[in-house]
Chain A
Amino acid sequence: MAVKKTTAASRAFDVLNVGALIGLAVVTVLPFLYVLAGSFATETEIDARPFFLWPREVVTDAYDFIFSTDAFVRSLVITIGVTAVGTVIQVMLTFTMAYPLAQKRLPGRRVVINLVVFTLVFGGGMIPTFLVVQSLGLLDSYWALILPMAINPFYLIIVKNFFQELPEELLEAARIDGCSEIGTFFRIVLPLSRPIVATFSLFYAVAIWNDYMSALLYIRDTSKWTLQMFVQQVTVSTDMSNTLGRIDANFVPPEQGVRFATIVLATLPIMLFYPFLQKHFAKGILIGSVKG
């Protein structure tokens, strides 16, 4: 960069460019700051002021109300449980299937890979999948939130490609030392793949956590609603008392504040994990693109 001369035009470009990017970043975070401020404000303040980043009077009415009802905590517990169990199942299924598919000597492997790739470009669609889930008796079961998307074919192919790049000599050495195929997988391959296991665990976890469609399709019982379903009911549909299940003639819930606080509470877990997510997701997106 020694030759570089900063001309006036170049400097003006830099100022405009950085200014525009900072503007973009501000537009990204401003809604969150507003919602965060609103969640701690009184109902009268939310009504009176169209926009603010700091409430005049800090109150926790909205949070008190949300936590005083069962609906929110129940949906949170359900979502945490489904995400934890689902992620373990998804990662196990994906990695155990990817490993044999990465073994070039395995007869029939090509056929299976083609069948997997075909599902990327064509599928039965929403209704036939719904009828399969229904015929398995999974409606209103938490398994319906996990099993229909137990393996993401795209991730499967990426993990398979990753396994193919592991040094062949290493696996050969393990086999010569008398290690079984499954032993090699658990004792040599998986420990070597720890970073990619972490990456895909997060991919899967975020997908289940954020999944709204499965709950909409497969869960009718309101007591089994997930967090995303709860958020949609409170903020998008206007039927709050029905969702929160607490009807008291003498008590008026801080409706606006509850909407704000619900968004904050639903966003919080993602924000807590954000540093990990950013690191691993960026890596994952690039793992997928190194080939070819």
Chain B
Amino acid sequence: MSVIAPQKSTPVSRPSADATHTVRLRTRLMRYRWLYLMLLPGLVYFAVFKYAPMYGVTLAFKDYVPFLGWNESPWVGTEHFERLFTSPDFPRILGNTLFLAFLHIVIVFPAPIVVALMLNEVRRSILKRMIQTTIYIPHFLSWTIVASLTYLLFALGDGPVTVLAENLFGSSFAFLTDPEWFRPLIIFQTLWKTTGWGTIIYLAALAGVDASLYEAARIDGANRFQQMWHITLPAIRSTIVIMLILTSSNLMDTGFEQIYLMTNSLNRDVAEVFDTYVYFTGIAQGQYSYSTAIGLFKGVVGLILVFGTNWLAKRFKQSTLF
């Protein structure tokens, strides 16, 4: 699934017998004129909303003064980066981001694979379809809805989950404000929202497995787990690797909306990640240059991760994205 792979084919050359080149060129350009016209609105979009902000990262090396504008604001070199790397916030935010990323890879990433394998073993297709239809629902809901449900279910004192936990364990729980519970809640939310939908890509890969392989394995006396281990898993291995590359290259993207909505003054120490830190220092406090520097640091690490994971995959002779 090399969706973002560059095309390897070269433009089709059209050798002509006797038409002169100039005439051909002119007629072709006449045709292209309309194609270029169709390209134009999109190009403007990418220039304004993607490449202008990329030029805007120069702010990270300047001291942005609103009335001077982007170009006239004075250069300050790497001052903002020095401030970031020496700030006590930095190790905390880096740690929080990496910890969440680690939990994501270890818990969230394998979940849809496991559920897809389980769904694959369900023989009754009606039952299978009903389960699929149900577990896909949360994918379509916004993070605000997910956060709202969490606030209701885990509310201090009278949330259903809180009451249940307090009855089971006999102690009181402050799920929403206790820093200890921030990461479990985030991972639980992500599992709830993404696991069902995540199975689709694996189920599609599983649908292509040759049924006669199972037949042969059964005749050889393989039980269900052995069939799963030796036939099903190898069949989806390349899909797993590609999804792992995609996931690892996005490690720094902790999901702004989700984290922002679950952050409060009591759990901020463990909740703050790069995305929310950029928001609070930049938008809320107006330190545009400093927050741009933080964003740039995050972007560069992300870029390194994309090419790094892709390079690793190439070394292990797996399918790559580029």
Interface residues, chain A, with chain B CB atoms under 8 Å away: 3-4, 7, 9-10, 13-14, 17-18, 20-22, 24-25, 27-29, 31, 34-35, 38, 47, 50-51, 93-94, 96-97, 99-101, 103-107, 110, 112-117, 119-132, 136, 147-151, 153-154, 156-158, 161, 164, 175, 180-182, 185, 206, 209-213, 216-217, 228-229, 231-232, 235-236, 259-260, 262-263, 266-267, 270-271, 274, 277-278, 281-282, 285-286, 288-292
Among the stretches B42-50, B81-89, B93-101, B265-273, the one at the interface with A is: B42-50
For B302, list chain A residues within 8 Å (CB).
Answer: 121-122
CA distance A229 to B260 in the complex (A): 13
- The answer to whether A259 and B35 have CB atoms under 8 Å apart is no
- The answer to whether B282 and A21 have CB atoms under 8 Å apart is no
Asked, given contacts A127-B282, A274-B140, A292-B319, whether A157 binds B218 with beta carbons under 8 Å apart, the answer is no
> Which of A22, A128, A266 makes the CB contact (< 8 A) with B53?
A128
Tell me the nearest residue of chain A to B160, going by C-beta.
A51
Most A CB contacts (10 A, CB to CB) among B56, B135, B142, B279 go to: B142
CA distance A129 to B144 in the complex (A): 22
Asked, given contacts A29-B137, A266-B145, whether A131 binds B158 with beta carbons under 8 Å apart, the answer is no
B283 at the interface (CB under 8 A from A): yes
CA distance A153 to B38 in the complex (A): 16
Asked, given contacts A28-B138, A127-B288, A182-B38, whether A51 binds B163 with beta carbons under 8 Å apart, the answer is yes
CB proximity of A100 to chain B, nearest CB, Å: 4
- The answer to whether B149 and A263 have CB atoms under 8 Å apart is yes
For B3, list chain A residues within 8 Å (CB).
Answer: 154, 157-158, 161, 288-289, 291-292
CA distance A10 to B256 in the complex (A): 44
- The answer to whether A126 and B131 have CB atoms under 8 Å apart is no
CB proximity of B316 to chain A, nearest CB, Å: 17
CA distance A14 to B145 in the complex (A): 34
CA distance A185 to B37 in the complex (A): 13
Can you give 30 contacting A-B residue pairs, CB < 8 Å? A9-B224, A14-B121, A21-B115, A27-B192, A29-B137, A47-B158, A97-B38, A112-B39, A121-B306, A123-B50, A126-B279, A126-B295, A127-B283, A128-B54, A129-B49, A130-B283, A132-B53, A151-B46, A185-B38, A209-B142, A210-B140, A210-B142, A212-B257, A231-B144, A235-B151, A236-B148, A259-B148, A270-B141, A278-B133, A285-B201
Most B CB contacts (10 A, CB to CB) among A127, A210, A216, A235 go to: A127
- The answer to whether B42 and A151 have CB atoms under 8 Å apart is yes
CA distance A213 to B276 in the complex (A): 11
> Which of A123, A151, A157 makes the CB contact (< 8 A) with B4?
A157
CB proximity of B205 to chain A, nearest CB, Å: 9
- The answer to whether B299 and A123 have CB atoms under 8 Å apart is yes
Give the residues from 189 to 223 in chain B that come closer than 8 angstroms, CB to CB, to chain A: 192, 195-196, 200-201, 204, 215, 218-219, 223
- The answer to whether B158 and A97 have CB atoms under 8 Å apart is no
CA distance A157 to B215 in the complex (A): 40
For B278, list chain A residues within 8 Å (CB).
Answer: 125-127
CA distance A72 to B122 in the complex (A): 43
CB proximity of B289 to chain A, nearest CB, Å: 9
For B135, list chain A residues within 8 Å (CB).
Answer: 24-25, 28
- The answer to whether A104 and B31 have CB atoms under 8 Å apart is no
- The answer to whether B148 and A262 have CB atoms under 8 Å apart is yes
How many pairs, one residue from A and one from B, have CB atoms within 8 Å of each other in the complex?
A: 298
B34 at the interface (CB under 8 A from A): yes
- The answer to whether A181 and B38 have CB atoms under 8 Å apart is yes
Among the stretches B6-14, B102-110, B179-187, the one at the interface with A is: B6-14
For A24, list chain B residues within 8 Å (CB).
Answer: 115, 131, 135, 195-196
B275 at the interface (CB under 8 A from A): yes
> Which of A120, A128, A181, A209 makes the CB contact (< 8 A) with B292?
A128
Asked, given contacts A31-B153, A260-B152, whether A106 binds B7 with beta carbons under 8 Å apart, the answer is no
- The answer to whether B115 and A3 have CB atoms under 8 Å apart is no
For B192, list chain A residues within 8 Å (CB).
Answer: 27-28
- The answer to whether B148 and A9 have CB atoms under 8 Å apart is no
CA distance A167 to B147 in the complex (A): 47
- The answer to whether A14 and B123 have CB atoms under 8 Å apart is yes
- The answer to whether B56 and A131 have CB atoms under 8 Å apart is yes
For B9, list chain A residues within 8 Å (CB).
Answer: 104
- The answer to whether B160 and A34 have CB atoms under 8 Å apart is yes
CB proximity of A184 to chain B, nearest CB, Å: 9
The 9 A-B residue pairs whose C-beta atoms are closest, nearest first, are A124-B53, A128-B56, A97-B42, A125-B295, A210-B142, A292-B2, A235-B148, A289-B1, A128-B53
For B141, list chain A residues within 8 Å (CB).
Answer: 210, 267, 270
B127 at the interface (CB under 8 A from A): yes
- The answer to whether A150 and B151 have CB atoms under 8 Å apart is no
CA distance A278 to B197 in the complex (A): 10
Asked, given contacts A132-B56, A263-B148, whether A3 binds B215 with beta carbons under 8 Å apart, the answer is yes
CA distance A259 to B133 in the complex (A): 26
B41 at the interface (CB under 8 A from A): yes
B61 at the interface (CB under 8 A from A): no
Most A CB contacts (10 A, CB to CB) among B3, B28, B36, B151 go to: B3
Tell me the nearest residue of chain A to B158, going by C-beta.
A50
CB proximity of B293 to chain A, nearest CB, Å: 9
Asked, given contacts A115-B46, A132-B56, whether A3 binds B219 with beta carbons under 8 Å apart, the answer is yes
CA distance A228 to B145 in the complex (A): 8
For A213, list chain B residues within 8 Å (CB).
Answer: 256-257, 260
For A107, list chain B residues within 8 Å (CB).
Answer: 11, 32
CA distance A209 to B9 in the complex (A): 38
For A277, list chain B residues within 8 Å (CB).
Answer: 140
